[in-house]
Amino acid sequence: MSTFPTPLPVVLCGKTTQMGRPVSKLLSPEYEVIHFIQSFEAAKAELPVLLAGRDPQVSEANDVGTHNYSQPPRAVLVGRAFEEDQVEELRKACSGAARAPVAWLLGDPAKLPTGPPGPEYAVEVANDCKNVLTKWKEDGGVNEDILLF
């Protein structure tokens, strides 16, 4: 079984900081959101740099995550506002950028809330991500397929 840093550095992708902020906090202390990406275009530009272990040098950083780029992320957590084909495109574009396997998590579209998400939704998202990441680590942390949470 691989050795994983504690906390495990992750990148979170979602549309709004209003959801990203609480999810980031709820993932702690097991996981450290080092960067929050809010669009597919930004993800295409920033993820390869982040996965290679470098600071993405964004001009307008948001206040979500630690911005601690001392260790490359081992997981990319993508919210339900993104499509599976977008995540697949990102995964392929980032192939070979990381020095270690990366977990790619995508919010299960079947679990999309019917109305505006409330505070309990962030708790559910964080817990679902933790469960999937725990299983990924227990299975050796080498699967780079898209895993639904």
Nearest residue to 108 (alpha-carbon basis) of 130, 128, 135: 128
> Would 116 be classed as within a structural domain?
yes
Integer Cα distance of 31 and 90 in angstroms: 21
pTM of the model: 0.96
Integer Cα distance of 141 and 94 in angstroms: 17
> Would 94 be classed as within a structural domain?
yes
| Tally of domains within the chain | 1
- The total of other beta-carbon atoms located within 10 Å of residue 16's CB is 14
Contact 75, 8 (CB under 8 A): yes
> Would 114 be classed as within a structural domain?
yes
Residue 128: its pLDDT value, please?
Answer: 98
> Would 49 be classed as within a structural domain?
yes
> Would 36 be classed as within a structural domain?
yes
Binned at pLDDT 50, 70 and 90, residue 61 comes out as confident
> Would 58 be classed as within a structural domain?
yes
- Chain center to CA of 6: 16
What CATH number does the domain containing 72 carry? Answer: 3.40.50
Count the residues in the chain. Answer: 149
> Would 3 be classed as within a structural domain?
no
pLDDT cut 70: percent of the chain above it: 99
What confidence tens digit (pLDDT) does each residue in 82-136 have? 999 999 999 999 999 999 999 999 999 999 888 888 889 999 999 999 999 999 9
> Would 2 be classed as within a structural domain?
no
Task: Note down the domain range covering 72.
Answer: 8-120+130-148
- Cα 35 to Cα 47, 66, 97: the distances in Å are 10, 7, 17
